[in-house]
Structure 1
Amino acid sequence: MNKAFTKEDDGPQADRLDDLPQSPHPNYVTPAGLAQLQGRLRAEHARLSDLPRDSLDAKLPRAMAERDIRFLEGRINRAIVVDPAEQDPEVVAFGACVTVADENDRHTDWHIVGEDEADPAAHRIAPFSPLGKALLGARVGDLVDWTKPGGTVELEVTAIRYFT
């Protein structure tokens, strides 16, 4: 057969998208964070099962769902579950809700959560974020330096709480 009439990409990898990169950081998760990941995985499996198998229109959505499933399975397999209830209540660690005061005495709560749960706009930060790194190991009354793009901000830790 003439080469012009064959597809070089035919084969098992033709419908597979490259994997999404996994974070280089340890995948610390709270029990709620693990439940979130498991829920997302179930939702992706459901989405995949709803897509037609033999439709060209579903080829890309199927490949995307399969890629997302591989990603979520990797996150779950690498998960290191940390129960906030088991942390030392006197020290900021993973799973803490930390109240800090800035130089204007404005108080803000920050929750140190897993990377998949992080949402800085909702004051949920990963432990390896600049603020997370500044807070880890601190105690009530400690001053920490939060290095931001606009400069360094000094914060005082005023409360540490852990929720289960």
Structure 2
Amino acid sequence: MSIAFVREKEGGEAFEDLPDRPISPHTNYVTPEGLAQIEAEVKRLQAEAARTSHDDKADTARITRDLRYWTTRLGSAELVEKVEGEAVHFGSTVTVEREDEHGKSARQTFRIVGEDEADPAKGSISYVSPLARALTGKVVGDVVEVNGHEVELVAIAQPSRS
């Protein structure tokens, strides 16, 4: 049967059933920067909700859904400001060396952050990612295996906070 002949909900508002964004089952650790990002997103969505017409059901549904997500993430955020020690931990910036697809040595640097602030293209990975999990607790010179590949930890920079 063609979709053209299927009766829509009253008013044709299928977007009212917009599913919630999934919430991670992991502890919501955040860096100070990550907490600021979450707070900014809540404020931005609150402002967007205030200026959105209630007649615009699609935007209202999207904003409401996203605001629920970010408000929940803000409420569950556990700020990790500074961890002592020389080993890799949440907030560390690590440099690793591994072989690329051509067998040449390649170095990459990442900061280990919370799930919502992770952006590998910009140099940050989630603390629950396979690489971060393999490196946590390791020190310079340690070699770990991630997805069948060896990765050597060549540098660790701990966050500097006052």
TM-score band, normalised by the shorter chain?
Answer: 0.7 to 0.9
CA distance in 2, matches of 1:106, 1:140: 16
CA distance in 2, matches of 1:113, 1:70: 22
Relative to the length of structure 2, the TM-score reads: 0.81
Per-residue Cα deviation, 1:11-57 (whole angstroms, up to 9, x for no partner): xxx9564422211111110010000001011111111111123x2xx
2:146 corresponds to: 146
Q: Which amino acid in the other structure matches residue 161 of structure 1?
A: A
Relative to the length of structure 1, the TM-score reads: 0.80
CA distance in 2, matches of 1:44, 1:25: 24
1:66 corresponds to: 64
Q: Which amino acid in the other structure matches residue 115 of structure 1?
A: E
1:44 corresponds to: 45
1:63 is displaced (CA, Å) by 1.6
1:98 to 83, 94, 97: 94
Q: Which amino acid in the other structure matches residue 59 of structure 2?
A: P
Per-residue Cα deviation, 1:30-89 (whole angstroms, up to 9, x for no partner): 010000001011111111111123x2xx11211211111111010011111101xx2124
Identity of aligned residues (%): 39
- Structure 1 residue runs without a partner (length 5+): 1-7
SS in 1 for 2:65: helix
1:3 corresponds to: none
- Aligned residue runs from structure 1 range 21-40, under 5 A: 21-40=22-41
* Aligned partners of 1:89 and 1:160 also within 8 Å: no
Per-residue Cα deviation, 1:92-147 (whole angstroms, up to 9, x for no partner): 00001001122444321111010001112223111111111111111011111111
Aligned residues: 145
Aligned residues: CA RMSD = 2.0
My pick for the range that moved more, 134-143 or 101-110, is 101-110
SS in 2 for 1:44: helix
